[in-house]
Amino acid sequence: MENRKFGYIRVSAKDQNEARQLQAMKEVGISDRDIYIDKQSGRDFNREQYQLMKHHLRAGDVLYIHSLDRFGRNKEEILNEWTDITKNIKADIIVLDMPLLDTTKYQDSLGTFISDLVLQILSWLAEEERERIKKRQREGIDVALRNGTRFGRPKVEITDAFIAVYTEWKVERITATEAMRRADMKRTTFYKLVKEYESQHANQ
């Protein structure tokens, strides 16, 4: 059975386009049916298309990826997956933008050592970049919070209007459904405020 070429592409769900990676795969002669694309984070390898591609990989096949950060972002998981594919499945991997990471060329011990070293460095850099992005996001949220930006659902306050419908509901003048309608609240919100209001008054 003839060895096959597979292409794996990953872009983040939000803002990246796969066209550049797709073009690179076609230039090395990979057919459309053997190109697998995930549109999600690279923090782990629980990705549908990646797992499907890996299921089809056989010994002697070649997996092409555009760059290491498209493969993954977590150093330990990158190394584990690389080892699983090259040592256990016995397929080869070629990283298109990093010629040293081509397991079809470097079969001798020195070549393997160089490839492993480069892989260690690049996977470490990929993880460092991921941590930097997370840190920047965290700093951005902290700045926004300091500037008064609120995240999550707005807090629903106990208002005079709520107290009025609560009182009528409590003495059974209106049903809970009618109280929620008048207060313009969902069931969970209404009962949450009931609990909060009653606990406040229980402590008085």
Q: Calculate the CA dihedral of residues 190, 192, 197, 201 and round it to 10 degrees.
A: 140
Please say whether the dihedral angle defined by the alpha carbons of residues 183, 186, 192 and 194, taken in this order, is positive or negative.
positive
Answer yes or no: 199 catalytic. Answer: no
CA-to-CA distance for 175 and 165, rounded, in angstroms? 10
12, 31, 123, 199: which one is catalytic? Answer: 12
Active site residues: 12
